[in-house]
Amino acid sequence: MVAPLRVGLAGLGTVGSAVAAQLARAHDELAVRAGRPIELVAYASKDPPRDSSLDLSKARKAADPISLARDPGIDVFVELMGGEGDPAKSSVEAALGMGRPVVTANKALLAKHGVALARLAEKNNAALYFEAAVAGGIPIVKTLREGLGGSRIGRVYGILNGTCNYILTRMLEERLSFADCLKEAQRLGYAEANPTFDIGGFDTAHKLAILASLAFGSEVDAEAVHVEGIESISLADLDAADELGYRVKLLGVAQRTDTGIEQRVHPTMVRKGSVIAGVNGVTNAVALDADTMELTLIGPGAGGAATASSVVADLIDLAAERRMPAFGRAASGMSKPQRAAMQRHEGGYYIRLSAVDRPGTVAAIATRLAEQNISLESIVQRHRVTHGGEDPSTSAGPVPVILITYATTEAAVRKALASVEADGAIAEPPQLIRIEKHR
């Protein structure tokens, strides 16, 4: 009889508990798919399992994650504790240092130390797998690492954070403010008590940096990602986008340019009818533009069961002895990242201004944009903002003005808006949303 793959699991939170449950529930099916049984034989967790019904009687408890990583009674170490530092980092290093394969869902660890860990794995002939680290249950890592053959990828992009997508969806559909939607997301468990990592775009940036490395063969360079979150998005922006034929999504975009790899995370307007525009709620989507094909994968980006399925998929590959370098190529063959500035956006920009109500203001704003060679596709001047039943024809207050530009550069837009602010033509900081072209 073929010996089982003996699993040591560190972390019994939502995902860890789901992994343990899946290994027990699907034991026979997994044995068929992997060619050998996969069994949880040991675990380490500072807290009780998130799933109180989980039966761990057949597994022994290790004193700590590092001792588990070095345990001679396991064949693979699964790290599901999270965080870019210890104990996750030290325990993963301990396992790889012994030549022991590692499966992890830790995007923060990979974004910060992925290249070093890949080198350590390579040095010790160990495997490092992380399908669950990006987009939960969507098999995007395997697709990029193994599935595209000789295709040359030009762009990888998508909705990589379910919390942000849920908030933007609910704001528009339920006519709720950002603050109210955030509270609801926290109540439902989609957002943490401190939601900055999600709504600030940093979670998406970590995932994007990993995808860019897989797509372009360069070392992970999370510090190169331009990051903006969704905190400034208002219902007025979502309504304006809707009227103009768009939806607003927080996208992570990485693409090849003539000067290097451009990586950016920010709210984006995408045309209604595109695949990305139709992805709502906590669902994620990842799209690839290659010289041979265009491909979009859609599915659950988080949640215990979906993420655990990706962890188990990695365990099946290891049990079946299907081995690949961590990032699809030898660590020594990964190129040094060449950072590229944000380039010309063919879709242009959406700009919302609170213009001071005086003659010639809108014309002056248009002049400032023209000075930077920015052409306007449209200008929409809305009714003046009023409060408490004031007559908009007599009350003072800023006048909302929406501008849609043709293709231009980030630098030109920023310079023009700085001049507009210096002129005193607007009453509050401008709102800027890029318009991205998608199929």
Pairing of strands 5-10, 76-79: parallel
Give the list of residues 6+ apart from residue 367 with CB closer than 8 angstroms, or none.
none
Tokens found for residue 180: 């109210």
Closest CA to 202 of 171, 182, 230: 230
Q: Does residue 332 lie within any of the structural domains?
A: no
pLDDT score of 117: 97
Segment 269-275 shows an average pLDDT of: 93
Q: Does residue 98 lie within any of the structural domains?
A: yes
Closest CA to 176 of 256, 244, 234: 234
pLDDT score of 141: 96
Segment 1-30 shows an average pLDDT of: 94
* Phi and psi angles of residue 313, each rounded to the nearest 5 degrees, phi first: -60, -40
Q: Does residue 419 lie within any of the structural domains?
A: yes
Q: Which of 3-12, 374-383, 399-408 has the lowest mean pLDDT?
A: 374-383
pLDDT score of 387: 44
pLDDT score of 438: 65
pLDDT score of 389: 47
Angstrom distance (rounded) from CA 241 to CA 263? 24
Residue 386's pLDDT band, with cuts at 50, 70 and 90, is very low
Tokens found for residue 118: 């890949």
Segment 131-146 shows an average pLDDT of: 94
Q: Are residues 232 and 373 in the same domain?
A: no
Q: Are residues 161 and 66 in the same domain?
A: no
- Contact 343/262 with Cβ under 8 angstroms? yes
Residue 192's pLDDT band, with cuts at 50, 70 and 90, is confident
Q: Are residues 167 and 192 in the same domain?
A: yes
Segment 222-229 shows an average pLDDT of: 94
Residue 1's pLDDT band, with cuts at 50, 70 and 90, is low
Angstrom distance (rounded) from CA 82 to CA 93? 14
Long-range contacts of 262-265 (CB under 8 A, 24+ apart): 262/340, 262/341, 262/342, 262/343, 263/205, 263/208, 263/209, 263/212, 263/221, 263/224, 263/225, 263/226, 264/225, 264/226, 264/227, 264/342, 265/201, 265/204, 265/205, 265/208, 265/225, 265/226, 265/227, 265/228
**What is the domain extent for residue 250?**
149-300
Of 378 and 280, the one with more pLDDT? 280
Overall number of domains in the chain: 3
pLDDT score of 277: 95
SS3 (DSSP) at 15: helix
In whole angstroms, how large is the CA radius of gyration of the chain?
24
pLDDT tens digits for range 202-224: 999 999 999 999 999 999 999 99
The three-point CA angle 197-202-205 to 5° equals: 155
- Contact 248/237 with Cβ under 8 angstroms? yes
* Res 393 pLDDT > 70: no
Q: Are residues 165 and 263 in the same domain?
A: yes
Catalytic residue positions, numbered: 207
* Res 394 pLDDT > 50: no
* Res 345 pLDDT > 90: no
* Res 439 pLDDT > 70: no
* Res 411 pLDDT > 90: no
**H/E segment holding residue 365:** helix 361-371
Q: Which amino acid is at 139?
A: P
Q: Does residue 171 lie within any of the structural domains?
A: yes
Q: Are residues 107 and 160 in the same domain?
A: no
Q: Does residue 370 lie within any of the structural domains?
A: yes
Q: Are residues 226 and 268 in the same domain?
A: yes
**What CATH number is associated with residue 110?**
3.40.50.720
Per the prediction, the chain carries an average pLDDT of 91
Q: Does residue 41 lie within any of the structural domains?
A: yes
Q: Are residues 159 and 127 in the same domain?
A: no
> How many percent of the chain have pLDDT more than 70?
95
State which of 260, 278, 300 marks the end of a domain.
300
Angstrom distance (rounded) from CA 153 to CA 33? 31
